[in-house]
A and B are shown apart, each in its own frame.
Chain A
C-alpha cells in the first residue's frame, strides 16, 4: 500500500478517538441509566438526534455555541424527567422488557415530531465560529473542531467521574446500583434518585448530539444507526460499567476509523464483528461483571 505513513495512521487514530468520544458519551449515558434503573433506554438515539437538532437550531438563532451547549442538555434532561416520571415509572415491577418497549415507541414519536417541526430534510450542520479550520498537531493538520470534541468529552467524563466519586449524590448512585433496598432503609428517596439519573442520562445523550452535530449530517433518522452503535459499545465494554463504556467507546471509534482507512466498505461492519468476537470470548463484556446480565 503506497502512501501509508505513520503520520496518516496517527491522523486516522485521532479521527477514531474523536468519533469514539461521541460513542463513549452515549454509552456512558446508557450505562448510568441502566446501572441505576436496570432500564435500557431505546430512545437514547432519538434523544441524541433531538440534541443535534436543538443545537443547530439554537446556534442558528443565537449564534452562540457555548450557550447552546448549556441549553440543549438542559432541555433533553427535562424531557428525560418527564419520560421517567410519566412513562417509565409506571413500568417498574412489570417485567424488564416493558420500559424498553415503551422507550422504543417513544423513539418513533420523537423522530416523527422532529420531522413535523424541523422538516424531513434535516438541517445543515454549523461548525461554531472559532473552531473552524485545522490545526497542526505535529503529524499533520487536524480539524480544530474534532480536537475540541476530544477535549470537551474528556472534560465531561471527568466531571461525571468527579460527580460520582466525590459528591454525596454520587455516593447514593453508586450505592443504588448495588443494593437499592438498603438505600431505602437508610432513608434515601430512591424515586427521586431514579428521576435524576434518568434525566442526567438523557442530558448526556442530548449533549453528545449537539457535540456530534458539526461532524455529521443532521437529519431525523441520524439517531437510528447511533442506537445500534451505542449498543455495540455497551456490549463490548460490559453492561453497567462506566469505565467499560468509555474504554469501549474509544476502542469502537478507533476500530471504525482504522477499518475505513484499509477497507472503507467494511467500516460499518467492523464494529459489529468486534462485538461478536467479544461475545464469544467474554460474553459479559471487557469490564462487565459475569452474572449481572449474562
Chain B
C-alpha cells in the first residue's frame, strides 16, 4: 500500500522533531548498508564536514570556498600533535578543533568585511594561504607527501577495547564524536542564535535594524563552522592515519559545496545525505572509470540547473510540512 502524503509528512515531521535521534539511528546502521566500513567512515567524516560548512552557507547564506583549510588544519594539527609531540589522541583532537576555530577567527575577521560573491573569492584565496603555509612547512607537515604515521594505539574504556585495526570499532568510535557534533549543531540552530542567523540570511539590513550585531554573529558562526570542520578533519586524520595535503586545497572546499548542494543546502539532513550519495557514487563509478571528476561535475551542474534544492530539499518541498521541519 502506498503511504498517503500526510503519513509521509508525519514521518518527516517526526524526523525533524527528533533530528539528532534520527541521525543517530541512521548512522548506527550505515556500516551494514555500505559495501565496506572505510566508506561508511568517510561518509561520517565528510557528512560532518558538509554540515559544518552548511551552518555558514545554508543558514547564513555565506558561500565560503575556504572551508577545506579548516578540514586540513584540524587534520594536520591533530596529526602533528600526535606524530611530533606524542600527545594522546584526545588532546590532539582538542588541539585540532581549537586550532581550526582559531583559523576561522582570523580568516573570518578578514572575510566578513566582504559579502556576496566577493566573500566567496576572498575565502578561497585566504584558504590558499593556509594551504601554502602547510605545504612549505615540510619538516612538520611532510609537505607534498602529506603527514604520515598518525596512529591511535588500542586502548580500553569502560571495559571495551577500542582497536582502530577493527574497522567496525573505529566506525563507532568516530560515530560518537560526529553524533556529539551534530547534537551541537542542532542545539545552535534551535537557539536564539539560530534564529538570528536565519534573520541575517533573509535580510541583513533588517536584522541589523532590529538591533542584532550582524558582523559579530557572522564571525561567531564562521568560527563555529570552522571548528566543526576542524573536528571532521581531526577524525579523518585518525581514520586514514595520514593527512593528505589536498585536504587544505580549495577543491576540498568545493567538495563541501557540492555535497551541500547535492543533498540540500539550508536543510538539517541535506549535507549528510549529499555526502553519502556523492561518496557512494564515487566509490561505484571509480571502479569502472577514472573520469570521476567529469561525472561529479556534470551531476553537480545538473543539480544547480534543475534541482537547486538538492535531494532532501526537493523531498521536503514536495510534502506539506510544518514550518520548523526544515
A96 part of interface (Cβ distance < 8 Å):
yes
Cβ contact of B121, chosen from A40, A101, A116, cutoff 8 A? A40
- Whether B132 and A272, one on each chain, are in contact in the complex, defined by CB atoms closer than 8 angstroms, is yes
Contact B124 A100 (CB under 8 A): no
How many chain A residues touch B (CB < 8 A): the figure is 47
* Total count of chain B residues near the partner, CB < 8 A: 36
Query: Does A72 touch B at the CB level, under 8 Å?
Result: no
0/1 string, A68-112, CB within 8 A of B gives 1: 000000000000000000010011001011101110111111011
Q: Which residues of A contact B291 (CB under 8 A)?
A: 112, 115-116
User: Which of A3-11, A175-183, A200-208, A227-235 forms contacts with chain B?
Assistant: A227-235
Give the number of residue pairs across the A-B interface with Cβ within 8 Å. 116
Verify if B308 is at the interface (C-beta below 8 Å from A): yes
State the main secondary structure of chain A at its contact with B.
helix
Closest Cβ–Cβ distance, residue A124 to chain B (whole Å): 23
Minimum CB–CB distance from A95 to chain B (whole Å) comes to: 8
B321: which A residues are within 8 A, CB to CB?
none
**Measured CA separation A110–B115 after assembly (Å):** 28
Q: Please, what's the 1-or-0 string for B108-142, where 1 marks a CB less than 8 Å from any CB in chain A?
A: 00100111111011101110110011001000000
Within 8 Å CB of B308, what residues of A? Answer: 94, 98
* Given A104-B254, A239-B118, A265-B136: A113 touches B113 (CB 8 Å cut-off): no
Q: Are B304 and A102 in contact (CB under 8 A)?
A: yes
Which residue of B has the minimal Cβ distance to A107? B297
- Given A98-B308, A232-B125, A105 and B300 contact (CB-CB distance below 8 Å): yes
Within 8 A of A (CB), among B241-278: 250-251, 254, 257-258, 261
**Are A276 and B126 closer than 8 Å at their CB atoms?**
yes
> Which residues 163-180 of B sit at the A interface, judged by CB distance below 8 A?
none
CB-nearest residue of chain A relative to B114? A294
Looking at the assembled complex, report how far the CB atom of B194 sits from the nearest CB atom of chain A, in whole angstroms.
21
Task: Give the dominant DSSP class at B's interface.
Answer: helix
Taking the nearest CB of chain B, how far is it from the CB of A245, in angstroms?
Answer: 13
Asked whether, in the complex, the Cβ of B114 is within 8 Å of the Cβ of A231, the reply is no
**CB-based contact B114/A283 at 8 Å:** yes
State which of B115, B118, B294, B304 has its C-beta within 8 Å of the C-beta of A101. Answer: B304
B296 near A: Cβ within 8 Å?
yes
Distance in angstroms from B263 CB to nearest chain A CB is 14
Q: How distant is the Cα of A225 from the Cα of B135 in the complex, in angstroms?
A: 14
B305 at the interface (CB under 8 A from A): yes
Contact residue among A97, A108, A280, A283 (Cβ-Cβ distance under 8 Å from B120): A97
Q: Within the complex, which residue of B63, B258, B297, B301 is in contact with A100, where a contact is CB–CB below 8 Å?
A: B63
Is A273 located at the chain interface by the 8 A CB criterion?
yes
Contact between chains at A268 and B294 (CB < 8 Å) = no
Asked whether any CB of chain B lies closer than 8 Å to the CB of A154, the reply is: no
Take A108-B300, A111-B293, A294-B113 as given contacts and tell me if A224 and B121 are in contact as well, using a CB distance cutoff of 8 Å. no
Q: How far is the CA of A232 from the CA of B113 in the complex (A)?
A: 15
Q: Is A279 an interface residue (CB 8 A)?
A: yes
A108-B297 CB under 8 A given contacts A228-B124, A279-B113, A280-B110: yes
Contact B125 A269 (CB under 8 A): no
Residues of chain B lying within 8 A (CB to CB) of residue A231: 121-122, 124-125
Q: CA A228 – CA B291 in complex, angstroms?
A: 24
A38 on interface, CB distance cutoff 8 Å: yes
Q: Return chain B residues, CB-CB under 8 Å to A90.
A: 305
User: Are A116 and B294 within 8 A (Cβ)?
Assistant: yes
Instruction: State whether B110 touches A293 (Cβ < 8 A).
Output: no
Please judge, given known A-B contacts A108-B300, A269-B132, A276-B129, whether A293 and B118 are in contact too, CB under 8 Å: yes
Q: Give Cα A276–Cα B108 distance, bound, in whole angstroms.
A: 12
- Chain B residues with CB under 8 Å of A38's CB are 117
B215 at the interface (CB under 8 A from A): no
Minimal beta-carbon separation of B122 from chain A (angstroms) = 6
**How far does the Cβ of A286 sit from chain B's closest Cβ, in whole Å?**
14
Closest to A224 in B: B251
Judge whether A272 and B114 touch: CB under 8 Å. no
What chain B residues lie within 8 Å of A40 (beta carbons)? 117, 120-121
Given contacts A40-B120, A40-B121, A100-B117, contact A276 B110 (CB under 8 A): yes
**Interface, chain B (partner A; CB < 8 A):** 63, 110, 113-118, 120-122, 124-126, 128-129, 132-133, 136, 250-251, 254, 257-258, 261, 291, 293-294, 296-298, 300-301, 304-305, 308
Apart from A97-B120, A269-B133, list 4 A-B contacts with CB within 8 A: A105-B300, A235-B125, A293-B114, A293-B118
| 26 A-B interface contacts by CB (under 8 A) | A38-B117, A96-B117, A97-B120, A100-B63, A101-B261, A101-B300, A101-B304, A102-B301, A102-B305, A104-B300, A105-B297, A107-B297, A109-B297, A112-B293, A115-B293, A116-B294, A228-B250, A231-B125, A235-B122, A239-B118, A268-B132, A268-B136, A269-B132, A276-B110, A283-B114, A293-B115
